Amino acid sequence: MPNKFTPHFEATDSMADLVRADYNILPLLSRFSIPLGFGNDTIGEICSKNDIDADTFLLIANFTLSNGIDHSIVTPVAALGIVDFLHNSHDYFISYKFPHIRSNLLNALDANHSDINPAIIAYFDDYVNQVKLHFEYEETTVFPYIRRLLSGEKSDYKIDIFRKNHDEIGEKLSDLKNVILKYYTTSKPNLMYDVLVDIFNCEDDLDQHNDIENDILVPLIESFEKSDKK
The residues binding Fe ion (CB under 5 A) are 138, 213
Q: Of 107 and 141, which has the nearer Cβ to Fe ion?
A: 141
User: Smallest distance from the beta carbon of 145 to Fe ion, in angstroms?
Assistant: 14
Helix (H, G, I), strand (E, B) or coil at 42: strand
Q: Of 127 and 184, which has the nearer Cβ to Fe ion?
A: 127
Q: Of 83 and 195, which has the nearer Cβ to Fe ion?
A: 83
User: Smallest distance from the beta carbon of 212 to Fe ion, in angstroms?
Assistant: 8
Residues 6+ away with beta carbon under 8 Å from 89: 31, 209
Nearest alpha-carbon partner for 98 in 173, 167, 33, 168:
173
Measured CA angle at 74 (ends 68, 80), to 5 deg? 115
User: Smallest distance from the beta carbon of 64 to Fe ion, in angstroms?
Assistant: 15
Question: Which neighbouring-strand residues pair with 14?
Answer: 42
User: Smallest distance from the beta carbon of 132 to Fe ion, in angstroms?
Assistant: 11
Q: Cα 146 from chain centroid? A: 18
Q: Of 108 and 131, which has the nearer Cβ to Fe ion?
A: 131
Greatest Cα-to-Cα distance within the chain, rounded to the nearest angstrom: 66
